[in-house]
Structure 1
Amino acid sequence: MTAARAFDPVELEILWQSLISTVNEQARALQRAAFSPIVREAGDLANAVFDRRGRMVAQAVTGTPGHINSLALGAAAMLEEYPVESLAPGDVLITNDPYKTAGQLLDVTVLVPAWRVPAGGGEARLIALFGSTIHHTDVGGYGIGAGGRDCFEEGLWIPICRLMTGDGAGGSERNSDVWKFILSNVRQPDHMAGDLHAQTASGEVGAQRLATLCDAHGLDDMEDLADEIIERSEAATRATIRELDAGSHRASAVLDLADGSLIDIVCTMHVDPEAGEITVDYEGSSEASPWGINVVANYTHAYTTFTVRSVLNPDIPNNHGSLAPIKMRAPEGSVVHAVPPQPGTARHVVGMFLPNALLKALAHLKPSGAMAEGAGAVWTMQVNGHHDDGSPFITAMFTYAGGVGARATKPGLDACSYPTGVSAVPIEVVEASAPVRFLRKALRPGSGGNGAQPGGLGQVIEFEVDTARPWQLNAVTSRLTEPPQGIFGGEPGASGSFQVNGEPVTTQTRITLQPGDTVRLELPGGGGYGPPVDTQDRDGPVAS
């Protein structure tokens, strides 16, 4: 048995930065090649490299926490069904199984093995896998929105299978039956095909760069490097937790939906310094909703680990090692642990809301990391209908963010997609893809909660659709009655408002609108931090 290679600190840092550069290049290739605006313009994606055991070693900077940390678990699930020993050069795996990956059928995961011929010659050996998860425009079924009543109604379910197969000469060819099934069940087959090829090609870019890295540094594979990175990351995370006091801290937050129903998120954070572990237990949270907002365990785990890590020590690399000491428990069948066939296309409404409860519990452990509640999930819109000549149109999903909660030393950010990190698809791109006309897009004055540090502002958006025919809108909103709460005496931010022609909309389902109808969105503002201060200070008026 060959002894594990030892890495000195300088060499390890060079290899680490080269590995990060590799996955970042994979992400850039995917974003540039993607057909869907939500990927190309907004960055609704994740990219990472995995070792032969399915452990995430490094992630790209671009992407969302929900995708990347779900991918960290999803890749291992894919390799359980297709072990590395069963794969051949040219094979590519695919799935959108929501309960094993990112929680909604629109998020498709592709895993591309990286092969390398050893320096001494012989057969190519699988040395790593490059994974990506992206939000596809359509997978058939109900489409964007919370109206699907089970996962079968929500769209096409792609089980873990081979998207591409090896051609025997080191190349790939389509698994034609799988491609036929997929493209026959979606509304925009060209977009789907283009995005799948972009995912495959970007994985191949990563594989090529990794082979170059191995050649340059005399590595036969990346097993020893992966072990070193993962072990160091885990040790650093456990050391951070060991500095905390033992104890349990309970917190909660309330989320309201458009139909007036309330979702309780309850978390108890158990700190075990001796083991160097934190366990977050969601016992007491609401049962699963009949609407498609339920969160699978992977996605709950993703935003749980993201929030805990970002407060305690965000400088430690995000990989299998740093995620391992953070455990998560959630009752099966609850809104934070959906099981088949509970629906979840709009699971981001709850998933992106989780930090509002988690940050309250973390405030007991690290007060300097405390933050008031923010708007939570981005609001998502999708418009479809027919042009005047009868030809159909459908927009990619476009998203808008409210205000972020204030922090101990800084105001909340205005109209910022926290915690997801996606950008808004530019209105020019939306208008170019469909007859949507934006009438207004501006910050919402006064929507941030007052405090020693004020909450971030929400925004106001108005749009209409230029067609002589009825059209449909799938909208996912929240925080319409329950405003984001302040912290330590800070005041709440403003709640949101979703209107059509000035009238509130109180449904979770797709709505049909008429020519000339105007949609108005008023997104929530973030809560304030600390008691409001005097409106005058020594330098003059404090900006609101």
Structure 2
Amino acid sequence: MTPTPKDATREIRMQVMWNRLISVVEEQALTLLRTAFSTSVREAGDLSAGVFDPQGRMLAQAVTGTPGHVNTMAEAVLHFIAEIGRERMLPGDTYVTNDPWKGTGHLHDITMVSPSFLGDQLVGFFACTAHVVDVGGRGFGADGKSVYEEGIQIPIMKFAESGRVNHDLVQIIRANVREPNQVVGDFYSLAACNDVGHRRLIEMMQEIGLTSLDDLGEFIFTRTRAATLDRIAALPKGAWSNELLTDGYDQPVRLAATVEIADGAVNVDFTGSDPVSRWGINVPIIYTKAYACYALKCVVAPDIPNNWASLDLFTISSPVNILNAERPAPVSVRHVIGHLVPDLVLGALAKALPGKVLAEGSGALWNIHISARPQTGQDGRRAEILMFNSGGMGARPGLDGLSATAFPSGVMTMPIEATEQTGPIVVWRKELRPDSAGDGEYRGGLGQVIEIEAADGHQFEFSAMFDRIGHPPRGRNGGADGKPGSAMLDDGTVMRPKGWQQVPAGRRLVLNLPGGGGYGDPAARSDAARKNDRTRGYITEDGK
């Protein structure tokens, strides 16, 4: 049937409003970026922001944000609605939690949800998430034996009611964290983020003459769902499995996944993965689902908007195991295993879609939490410092891998100048690591070399959250593995890949981040590409 001029006009009008809605959530996210106290948010963009309909279904997300935050937030809003109850929601409210099983998988992420009212009518919700520098307890690390050791737990509750902040909650937070000004500042930044989104949405609705988002939501969901179903219909049908070994905490951990593609749906099942760990590397299913869905979307529908309708077609199943850890399992560094889920899922998809999936990369961010303090008898300052560092991505079919790039999390790097301002440390070196990439027709991305020392008169201990040291990223289709990572002192002392450790005064911590796996037969790499690698210093004369 040929569309009528009226149908075409409505289509254009709805598309314009959809774009306007995306601009609303972009401004929402920028507010958080510009007002956040923590460098992980302000400099690295470790956040998410989105708008939801009154049923809690995500309509649109900001471009800025990690899959682990955005996709968990898409489910978390439903928990907020269930816990608070519609009858207790008031204009000016803001709700908060860091519950790992109802938020984003660990206590360091604060999620806030705010109802948006047009007059007395609830028209939607705004939600946002950010990683804060400290939540008390043992600090950001894998050493806890249960979630109760890992920091303060905030159940879903009101941060503000009718615009009035819950100062009792603020005082409890201040008394339980090491950096109260930063953490409380970030709470207010999150609340402001949602408030800006709400005000821009109401302005948009009043300008256009909307009394609800129902029609716009139906337009967004029907088109997104239809487009995603078309992509799934074009996929081969069947089931494909993959396994991946990770370093774990004190022994390797086996991850397993089976991707099943059927008519109108794709399911990922994690049966066969190792049991729940006694260390804080476990992953709540909400976070596993977030990164499994991200991997599927990267291959199946990368250009289709990420919202409730597209995510709803991807399902996750798993028995209780390290990828479906139940309370009160320790989960503080759930991102290490969680960031390897995309490589696990993509490995299965590569069997279904040969020649279309990139090689394995470093995966997990090489996060390091540094607790710096003055040496005995010295004047100085104490500080908690968080750095995000990235190894190399795997090579892609037809393209070399990206170097020092945070895939799958997508966070940005933290400038050294900003990091050194937060505490008494000196970063002597942060550069690409030659010869770290896996060889292939297409080369993997390079890792980094990073050297850190305490400032004069100070010393520090750090929480290691590293992987791919004992199990490097694997190449694909004949490509070579990337070079594994390492953590050591400048005198050669080998440090553990996970857990809190001391760096003696005067010593430097040296981190060698892993490179990505190569793609395709190395013999097929062009002479021009190899010459370019040597000219740029990516490969030395001693390297291949």
- The question of a shared fold, defined as TM-score above 0.5 by the shorter chain, is answered with yes
Q: What is the CA distance between 1:396 and its match in structure 2?
A: 3.2
AA paired with 2:242? A
Task: Report whether the alignment pairs 1:226 with 2:217.
Answer: yes
Query: Quick one: which of 508, 513, 516 aligns to 2:506?
Result: 516
Query: Quick one: which of 270, 274, 278 aligns to 1:290?
Result: 278
Task: Report whether the alignment pairs 1:11 with 2:13.
Answer: yes
Q: In the alignment, is the contact (CA less than 8 A) between 1:144 and 1:397 conserved in 2?
A: no
The aligned residue for residue 195 of structure 1 is: 186
Q: What is the CA distance between 1:394 and its match in structure 2?
A: 2.0
Q: What is the CA distance between 1:89 and its match in structure 2?
A: 1.1
Aligned residues: 525
Task: Report whether the alignment pairs 1:386 with 2:386.
Answer: no
CA distance in 1, matches of 2:451, 2:109: 28
For structure 1, which runs of at least 5 residues remain unmatched after alignment? 118-123, 167-171
Query: Quick one: which of 224, 235, 241 aligns to 2:232?
Result: 241
The aligned residue for residue 528 of structure 1 is: 518
CA RMSD of aligned residues (A): 1.8
AA paired with 1:74? A
Q: In the alignment, is the contact (CA less than 8 A) between 2:372 and 2:454 conserved in 1?
A: no
The aligned residue for residue 316 of structure 1 is: 304
The aligned residue for residue 217 of structure 1 is: 208
Instruction: Give the TM-score of the pair, scaled to structure 1.
Output: 0.93
The aligned residue for residue 121 of structure 1 is: none
Task: Report whether the alignment pairs 1:366 with 2:366.
Answer: no
Q: What is the CA distance between 1:469 and its match in structure 2?
A: 4.8
Query: Quick one: which of 241, 250, 253 aligns to 1:250?
Result: 241
The aligned residue for residue 329 of structure 2 is: 342
Query: Quick one: which of 177, 196, 210 aligns to 2:168?
Result: 177
Deviations 1:380-438 (A, max 9, x none): 11211323555542233111110100011100100100000111211111111111111
Moved more, 443-452 or 183-192: 183-192
For 2:80, what is the secondary structure of its paired residue? Answer: helix
Deviations 1:457-507 (A, max 9, x none): 111001100243542111211111111110010010100000023211126
Q: What is the CA distance between 1:258 and its match in structure 2?
A: 5.8
CA distance in 2, matches of 1:343, 1:539: 46
Q: In the alignment, is the contact (CA less than 8 A) between 1:256 and 1:482 conserved in 2?
A: yes
Identify if the C-alpha distance between structure 1 residues 487 and 186 changes in structure 2 by more than 3 Å, giving closer, same or farther: same
Q: In the alignment, is the contact (CA less than 8 A) between 2:179 and 2:384 conserved in 1?
A: no
Matches for 1:32-51 after TM superposition, within 5 Å = 32-51=34-53
Q: In the alignment, is the contact (CA less than 8 A) between 2:372 and 2:384 conserved in 1?
A: no
Matches for 1:476-515 after TM superposition, within 5 Å = 476-500=465-489, 501-506=491-496, 508-515=498-505
Instruction: Give the TM-score of the pair, scaled to structure 2.
Output: 0.93
Task: Report whether the alignment pairs 1:279 with 2:267.
Answer: yes
CA distance in 1, matches of 2:64, 2:414: 15
CA distance in 1, matches of 2:418, 2:504: 23
Determine what percentage of the aligned residue pairs are the same residue: 38
The aligned residue for residue 135 of structure 1 is: 131
For structure 2, which runs of at least 5 residues remain unmatched after alignment? 1-5, 534-538, 540-544
CA distance in 2, matches of 1:483, 1:57: 38
Q: In the alignment, is the contact (CA less than 8 A) between 1:257 and 1:480 conserved in 2?
A: no
Q: In the alignment, is the contact (CA less than 8 A) between 1:535 and 1:541 conserved in 2?
A: no
Q: What is the CA distance between 1:439 and its match in structure 2?
A: 1.3
The aligned residue for residue 354 of structure 1 is: 341
CA distance in 2, matches of 1:440, 1:258: 27
Q: What is the CA distance between 1:42 and its match in structure 2?
A: 0.4
Q: In the alignment, is the contact (CA less than 8 A) between 2:385 and 2:423 conserved in 1?
A: no
CA distance in 2, matches of 1:337, 1:309: 21
Q: What is the CA distance between 1:235 and its match in structure 2?
A: 2.1
The aligned residue for residue 169 of structure 1 is: none
Q: In the alignment, is the contact (CA less than 8 A) between 2:40 and 2:386 conserved in 1?
A: yes
CA distance in 2, matches of 1:207, 1:315: 27
Moved more, 277-286 or 431-440: 431-440
Moved more, 224-233 or 151-160: 224-233
AA paired with 2:154? I
Point out 4+ residue stretches in structure 1 off by more than 6 angstroms: none
